[in-house]
Amino acid sequence: MSDPALTEAAIEGAAPPRLRDALRASFRGDRYDYTSGPVGRAVILLAVPMVLEMAMESIFAVCDIFFVGRLGASAVATVGLTESLLTLVYTLAMGVAIAATAIVARRIGEGDERGAGRAAGQALLLGVIVSLVLGIGGGIYAPRWLALMGAGRDVLAVGSTYSRVMLGGSAVILFLFLINAIFRGAGDAVIAMRVLWLANGINILLGPCLIFGLGPFPRLGVTGAATATTIGRGIGALFALSRLALGKGRVRAHLRDLLPDRELLLRLTRLAASGTGQVFIGAASWIGLVRIVSVFGSDALAGYTIGIRIILFALLPSFGMSNAAATMVGQSLGARDPERAKKAAWTAGRYNLYALGAITVIFVAFARPLATIFSNDPTVIDYAAGCLRVVAAPFPIYAYGMVFTQSFNGAGDTTTPTLLNLFVFWMFEIPLAWALALPLHLGPSGVFLSIALAFVLLAIASGVLFQRGRWATRVV
């Protein structure tokens, strides 16, 4: 008789049995001790659902603009301007999420599930405070914010309600980020994946119904997109909260955990503030690059925008691998095993190299066909293809930089990646982009080259600092 495992592998054309078993376990969400056992298996168990979680976020972003694009330029402009305003929300949400992941992962590694529950409760309390400020300010003053961003009368007429709904409902964005970060820190990556799939699945199905008035649904236009997104994220956040309250994962937050714990709340706030600064510095640097590219006209700007959108779309799943490393580092330090933490980061970096290496080959070989999906203007396509080829070239090296910076965060060392972002993106990348593009007359290609070199520098600098190991002494 043939071995069933071998027969199944032959039929499926799948990976070797050990890898296949690990992949299956990652989908099932089997409880696993990430502080012991093979590091490679642990990284795969965490990374697969995290990568799929980020992949769904990528698909969601593309689907949303796909439907709204059929409503005209004013609707698209509304979405673009509102997304710019939401950058602050995303930045704060990611900052709080970084803090929650670090502390929850450390407590789980220590075997202190009750302490992890207290940390989760205090993170939720901090989230309530932040979301109230954002929601009230955004909902009331949304049209003013749009006007300050340069929206014309046509955009204000079409998009004021859209912005009110999106900014006023920013609490659901923050809590979706936050609760999923708690699950990821605990090692319950499958729950986080399912939450995001539920939220985005509802949005993708409900979006066209409310935008175009399909069946019994009212035709709300661009406001329908905001309504669908907020409903989807809201249901996802409620589902996640129910998992957390019922203890369906490793962490259970009780009502008493929401009572203020001054010391723990201050610790979370300090980590969140540093994490927020780290994300903001990185995100804001793109604005400086856009300003330099805009000097060369609308075609160059359009090509750059298309190229960067494709690149960020491709990079998003790789952040799942980086998040897996952060969880492994935090839990390993909690278990007082810094060598395992270091090994986990290097292993995740190697896996990330494989993935981004394949993307580099695709982008370099098929840059023009990819660009033509988004534009039929030959000049715009030239700029977009150039952006893809140059910026994607160092992806295999940047793969390690992504993992190392998140590993610092997982250790609770949010200061190091913040300073790295400040140095690499603001003191190196932007001045270099200006010098290459203008005085040295390389034009937009100089900007593309500066991004590629910044990726390389970030990977090298973060690798050197990671090897020094000071992050392993961080107390959280």
Give mean pLDDT, residues 336-348.
96
Quick: pLDDT tens for 39-76: 988 898 888 888 888 877 767 666 766 787 778 767 76
Place of tokens 């060369």: 296
Q: How far apart are CA 398 and CA 465, in angstroms?
A: 15
Q: How far apart are CA 149 and CA 164, in angstroms?
A: 15
Q: How far apart are CA 431 and CA 412, in angstroms?
A: 30
Best-predicted range by mean pLDDT (5-19, 293-307, 401-415): 401-415
Rounded to the nearest angstrom, the gap between the alpha carbon of residue 273 and the centroid of all alpha carbons in its chain is 18
Collapsing DSSP states into helix, strand and coil, what is residue 414? coil
pLDDT score for 353: 95
Q: Look up residue 429 and give its DSSP letter.
A: I
Q: Look up residue 70 and give its DSSP letter.
A: G
Place of tokens 């929601």: 135
Give backbone dihedrals phi and psi of 373, rounded to 5 degrees, phi first: -65, -30
Q: How far apart are CA 56 and CA 287, in angstroms?
A: 26
- Residue 225 token pair: 């997109």
Q: How far apart are CA 285 and CA 31, in angstroms?
A: 40
Give mean pLDDT, residues 231-257.
94
Quick: pLDDT tens for 131-141: 888 888 888 88
Give mean pLDDT, residues 112-129.
95
pLDDT score for 16: 53
Instruction: Return the minimum-mean-pLDDT range out of 101-115, 307-321, 450-464.
Output: 307-321
Buried b (16+ CB within 10 A) or exposed e, 101-115: bbbbbbbbbbeebeb
Quick: pLDDT tens for 350-359: 999 999 999 9
pLDDT score for 11: 33
Place of tokens 């949400």: 93
Instruction: Name 435's Cβ contacts closer than 8 Å, sequence gap at least 6.
Output: 446
Instruction: Name 327's Cβ contacts closer than 8 Å, sequence gap at least 6.
Output: 34, 46, 101, 105, 184, 185, 187, 189, 410
The C-alpha angle 381, 316, 188, rounded to 5 degrees, equals 165
Give mean pLDDT, residues 397-422.
95
Instruction: Name 411's Cβ contacts closer than 8 Å, sequence gap at least 6.
Output: 102, 329, 330, 333, 341, 471, 472, 474, 476
> In terms of Cα–Cα distance, which of 262, 246, 255, 221 is closest to 74?
221
Quick: pLDDT tens for 171-216: 999 999 999 999 999 999 999 999 998 998 999 899 999 999 998 9
Quick: pLDDT tens for 283-339: 888 878 888 988 888 788 888 878 887 888 888 878 889 999 999 999 999 999 999
* Average pLDDT, rounded, for the chain: 87
What is the maximum span of the chain, computed from C-alpha positions, in angstroms? 75
pTM (2 decimals)? 0.86
**What is the rounded end-to-end Cα distance, in angstroms, of the chain?**
55
Identify which has the larger pLDDT, 346 or 31: 346
Q: How far apart are CA 233 and CA 203, in angstroms?
A: 8
Collapsing DSSP states into helix, strand and coil, what is residue 35? coil
User: Residues of the chain with pLDDT > 70: what percent?
Assistant: 91
Instruction: Quickly state the pLDDT bin for 18 (edges 50, 70, 90).
Output: low
Domain ranges in the chain? 34-260, 281-476
Cβ atoms of residues 423 and 452 within 8 Å: no
User: Residues of the chain with pLDDT > 90: what percent?
Assistant: 57
Would you say residue 81 has pLDDT above 90?
no
Would you say residue 23 has pLDDT above 70?
no
Q: Look up residue 259 and give its DSSP letter.
A: S
Place of tokens 């001054």: 262
pLDDT score for 380: 87
Please state at what angle helix 170-186 crosses helix 298-334, rounded to 10 degrees.
40
Would you say residue 375 has pLDDT above 90?
no
pLDDT score for 17: 54
Would you say residue 428 has pLDDT above 80?
yes
Give mean pLDDT, residues 123-135.
91
Cβ atoms of residues 456 and 429 within 8 Å: no
Cβ atoms of residues 437 and 379 within 8 Å: no
> In terms of Cα–Cα distance, which of 172, 327, 169 is closest to 239?
172
Collapsing DSSP states into helix, strand and coil, what is residue 441? coil
Identify residue 47 by its one-letter amino acid code.
A
Would you say residue 92 has pLDDT above 80?
yes
Q: How far apart are CA 166 and CA 152, in angstroms?
A: 19
Q: How far apart are CA 106 and CA 416, in angstroms?
A: 18
